[in-house]
Amino acid sequence: MGVRVPLSAHYNPSILITSLLGSDRDWGFLLLVTLNFIPLEITLDKHAANEASIKIRLTEADYQPKVDSKLKEYARKATIKGFRPGKAPVSIVKNLYGTPVLIEEINQLLSSSLNEYIKEQPFKVLGDPLPMTETVGDLDWKKQKEFEFSYKIGFVDQVEVDLESGLDAKVYTLEVTEKEVNDALANIKRQYGKMTNPEVSEENDFLYGDLKSADGSFEKTLSLPLSKIDKDSLQQFVGVEKSSIITFTPSEAIKEDLSEVLDLPEDEAKHISGEYTFTVQNINRTEEAELNQELFDKVFGPNQVTTEEAFIAKIKEILAENYNKELKVFSDEALKKSLIKKTSIDLPEEFLKEWLIRANSEKFSEADVEKEFPMYVQQLTWSLISNTIAEENNIKAEHSDVIEKTREMIREQLGTSGMGAHMEDNMDMFVNNYLQANEGQNYMQMMTAVQNDKILAFVKEKVSPQEEVITVERFNELLEN
């Protein structure tokens, strides 16, 4: 859903109050955090195990000295019709600016006090305080001397993570078999092969032609891959020549996604039924590339491998590396889920839903929040667990770690595109550009990734999860489950 998961360690309250000021103008204002903290009358009422309300009471003595000081400053600088600059009486300045200045000072007092008060609490505040705005519209900013504001908060008490009794999780590695190597080799041969147009079709050819319904209501020119035709119908398409007309039932003959094969929207593809004719205009075939130095150079670069054995070994190495990257992600997620399942955290779910709805009202509906909430709970729970592990074991993501992880990511991307060797000299520029982009969000994401890597490495060292070597088939089963 894209919502953030703020914790007390980096708390940044944003408290919105819209008020009617009872004057010629309506003033809306946003209470922002300031660093000045003045002790006020603040009370906390824990009305549930994970929810509470905070009440802040302001008297005239709390805010008036700063209001008076600010109005005098305005008077020295204000340009008001009928008076020389800086010579308008304070009473007139107060009449013009008194209410917004009062709001600004109360804004600063509330936000700094609330922020400081929350930071001093032993529990972890989740989300932002939610203002209880029922009575804000009744405030008389011109006549009232005392003000009272209330906020709802959600929190969790101390999070306890048990790493001593082990976890029900495994760490997987994959062994690439001859089948995966042969499949990859066949794909490479086809990918770098030469396109031909034979006179007679064979299995795995593409037939280019016109597909028409028997009643004439549908007609489309397309390239039909014979690899997608069911084996019981395939013989109709094998051994045919140009200008041949094949009569068949697409919904029965095409064994995979009909909309994809016919290049149709799903709602149109589901209406394809009954007999159709396919008139062959051309036959396209890819002749497999030969295993020679020309192919080796095209795939891995000039003279990177020089023998068939080295070529196949390189393919196997890359397959193992790619599969095991995926397996690491899978294993790490399984480890997280195991920790989440084992760690009991009582979240203020109703408060969090309300906060998410308010904080994302312009992006998501209540139905969206409800749908995505279970995933959000998983993310929040992991954040609490990982933060606890990091705090208790002094695990930190250093700037140098962020730089190195970004380098690895960019090298992988450039290597995939075949530009790695040419771009290494400009790596510092790529790293800096990436980390500075997106208003610093890229840097924060990479720092979070580094922190997660360090925490998971620490957990694996502590709990020593069982290691298991699996096949590609077993990996696919795990993904399905």
Q: Within a domain: residue 322?
A: yes
- Asked if residue 310 and residue 283 are part of one domain, the reply reads no
- Asked if residue 431 and residue 330 are part of one domain, the reply reads yes
Rounded to the nearest integer, the mean pLDDT of the chain is: 85
Cα–Cα nearest to 473, from 137, 151, 264, 180: 180
- Asked if residue 268 and residue 323 are part of one domain, the reply reads no
What is the Cα–Cα distance from 478 to 361, expressed in whole angstroms?
37
Three-class secondary structure assignment of 6-18: CCHHHCCCCEEEE
What is the Cα–Cα distance from 446 to 405, expressed in whole angstroms?
7
Residue 49, pLDDT > 50, answer: yes
The pLDDT tens digits for 355-364 are 999 888 888 8
- Asked if residue 315 and residue 247 are part of one domain, the reply reads no
Q: Helices 308-342 & 441-463, crossing angle to 10 degrees?
A: 80
- Asked if residue 208 and residue 91 are part of one domain, the reply reads no
H/E element, 152: strand 147-156
Q: Calculate the dihedral angle through the C-alpha atoms of 457, 459, 465, 471, rounding to the nearest 10 degrees.
A: -40
Average pLDDT over residues 5-12: 35
The answer to whether residues 34 and 108 touch, using CB atoms and an 8 Å cutoff, is yes
Enter the tokens of residue 10: 């980096």
Strand segments (E) across 214-362? 219-225, 245-248, 276-287
Q: Within a domain: residue 184?
A: no
Q: Report how far apart, in Å, the C-alpha atoms of 459 and of each of 32, 162, 394 are.
A: 38, 10, 13
Decide: helix, strand or coil at residue 55.
strand
Q: Within a domain: residue 64?
A: yes
- Asked if residue 368 and residue 268 are part of one domain, the reply reads no
- Per-residue pLDDT, 415: 67
Q: How large is the greatest C-alpha to C-alpha distance in the chain, in angstroms?
A: 101
- Asked if residue 313 and residue 268 are part of one domain, the reply reads no
Three-class secondary structure assignment of 386-404: HHHHHHHCCCCCCHHHHHH
Mean pLDDT comparison of 120-134, 164-178, 365-379, highest-scoring range: 365-379
The pLDDT tens digits for 244-276 are 999 999 999 997 789 999 999 988 898 899 999
Q: Within a domain: residue 316?
A: yes
Residues 6+ apart with CB under 8 A from 457: none
Domain CATH code at residue 103: 3.30.70.1050
- Asked if residue 221 and residue 337 are part of one domain, the reply reads no
pLDDT band at 17; cut points 50, 70, 90: very low
- Per-residue pLDDT, 418: 53
User: Model pTM greater than 0.85?
Assistant: no
Domain CATH code at residue 469: 1.10.3120
- Asked if residue 314 and residue 277 are part of one domain, the reply reads no
DSSP 465: P
Q: Within a domain: residue 1?
A: no
Q: How many helices (H) and strands (E) does the chain have?
A: 15, 13
Q: Within a domain: residue 103?
A: yes
- Per-residue pLDDT, 22: 30
- Asked if residue 116 and residue 28 are part of one domain, the reply reads yes
- Asked if residue 19 and residue 144 are part of one domain, the reply reads yes
User: How many other β-carbons are positioned within 10 Å of the β-carbon of residue 319?
Assistant: 18
Give the range of the structural domain holding residue 455, as residue numbers without chain letter: 170-177+306-480
Question: Which of these three, 229, 254, 287, is where a domain ends?
Answer: 287
352-387 burial, b for 16+ CB within 10 Å, e for fewer? bbbbbeebbeeebeeeebeebeeebeebbbbbbbbb
- Asked if residue 431 and residue 395 are part of one domain, the reply reads yes
Q: Within a domain: residue 66?
A: yes
The pLDDT tens digits for 85-119 are 766 777 777 878 788 888 888 888 888 899 999 99
Residue 476, pLDDT > 70, answer: yes
Number of domains in the chain: 3
The pLDDT tens digits for 381-428 are 999 999 999 999 999 999 999 999 999 998 888 765 555 556 777 888
What is the Cα–Cα distance from 103 to 93, expressed in whole angstroms?
15
Q: Within a domain: residue 185?
A: no
What is the Cα–Cα distance from 127 to 115, expressed in whole angstroms?
13
Number of residues that make up the chain: 481
The pLDDT tens digits for 189-248 are 999 999 999 999 999 899 999 999 999 899 999 999 999 999 999 999 999 999 999 999
Domain CATH code at residue 253: 3.10.50
Percent of the chain with pLDDT over 70: 88
